[in-house]
Amino acid sequence: MSGLLAQFSVSNFRVPSGTYIAMDAATHTYLNVLNFEGPGGSVVCSVGNQLGNDIWNVVPTEGHNLTIQSYGTGDFLSVNGGNVVTSTTIYPWGLVPSTNYPYAFHVQDVKSGHVLRVANNVNGAPVTLVSYDDVDQNQAWFFVGKEPESN
């Protein structure tokens, strides 16, 4: 991730746009598009498969929000009927710094104010939306820079 990176402010923190894996701070599992499903696909946590469905492009939008796009499917992290899914439509997310884990964030659905959460470290555990609770360690996510591997 060299060169000039566009940066944007979210919750008074500067986050560069780029390609990341998103790791839950409590479970050490990774945000994942289940089986590379297309639009409407389930978003789960995985133990890490080293494939594109664990990798996400994070890009700023207007109003200091961001989009989170699956590197493996090209679909966007989204919400439909209260479920965390993928979509072909850009969806706005925000980041709220965690007070429990330095450098970690709560990933907040801008529309509802709810945040992403994974309940346990079981491979395939669903990612859900819940009310923000800074004490809940399963709501904190690290964004770790990841250079996609070429074949």
CA 142 to chain centre: 9
- Separation of alpha carbons 39 and 23, rounded Å: 22
| pLDDT of 4 | 28
User: pLDDT tens, 42-97?
Assistant: 999 998 877 889 999 999 887 778 999 999 999 999 999 999 999 999 999 999 99
- Separation of alpha carbons 79 and 85, rounded Å: 6
What DSSP letter does each residue of 47-92 carry, written as one string?
S--SSGGG-EEEEE-GGG-EEEEETTT-PEEEEETTEEEEESS---
| pLDDT of 75 | 97
